[in-house]
Amino acid sequence: MRLRFIALFLGLTVSVFAEVKVVAHRGASAYAPENSIEAIQLAWELGADAVEADFRITKDGHIVCIHDSDTERVANQKIAVETSLLSELKALELVSGNEENGVSRIPELADVLASVPAGKLAYLELKSDVRIVPEFLEVLKSSPVPAAQLIVISFNSDVLAELALRAPELKTILLVSLKRKGFVLRPSISSIIEEAEAAKVDGVSVKAHPMMPQDFGFKLKAAGYEFHVWTVDSPEWGIEMIKRGAQSITTNKPDLLKAALESYNQSSK
């Protein structure tokens, strides 16, 4: 009986690891300019199960793929995204650090969606406030990518609540940055669940933190929410997060995490 239990446990462990999604953070951003089409295409080539990309709305109502509120860190000129025209942003060159890679430019939401292969997922992080929602949904309507391949994530619970109201077919995930406050990790699990309930989301994605309790993810799942983590580049830490219940791992190096999970699955058989 004990041997049968151990075999069953190992089988479940392999199954769980096989189902975990490796999500390329801003594309394969360790190897190409973050949030560029080049980084996103590379993520697919490296075998990522999904890509994560950030989006903001421009002054003239277009949605562009960029993380920061301005372009200083990623481009050759500093301009504020939400007070600039699409044409101004498209004219910028993204800093690649490698001239042989050619020129990368800020893509639009439609460009990112067009890159998503069948069977893969796109985690779309909305950085702007609720003003972005109407145009975001219009772009999705024009895209051939089905809702089942799209996951909308945001730190802004108002944005997620608006999406739950206007597009309930979309899966939504609340982003939470765990931070140490003295000897305690904040926000608390109870406050996270309270915010998730108010926003009517399907899951919670947290910044992986060494102080995270062993049962943190399992408590979220027991409350009815999916549990995801970001940004993990260490294969060992990624495997540890999965053991703690993570259903996806967001990473700058999807090739390393994919290889680590495949190796773990093989060794566990």
Range of the domain at 215: 2-268
Q: What is the CATH number of the domain that holds 65?
A: 3.20.20.190
Chain centre distance of CA 66: 13
Residue-wise pLDDT tens digits, 218-262: 999 999 999 999 999 999 999 999 999 999 999 999 999 999 999
- 266 or 101, greater pLDDT: 266
Report the distance separating Cα 59 and Cα 90, nearest Å.
13
Mean pLDDT over 47-61 rounds to 98
**pLDDT exceeds 60 at position 10:** no
Residue-wise pLDDT tens digits, 13-32: 555 677 899 999 999 999 99
263 contacts: CB under 8 Å, gap ≥ 6? none
Number of independent structural domains in the chain: 1
Query: Model's pTM, two decimal places?
Result: 0.93
Burial letters for 5-21: b for 16+ Cβ neighbours within 10 Å, e otherwise?
Answer: eeeeeeeeebeebeebb
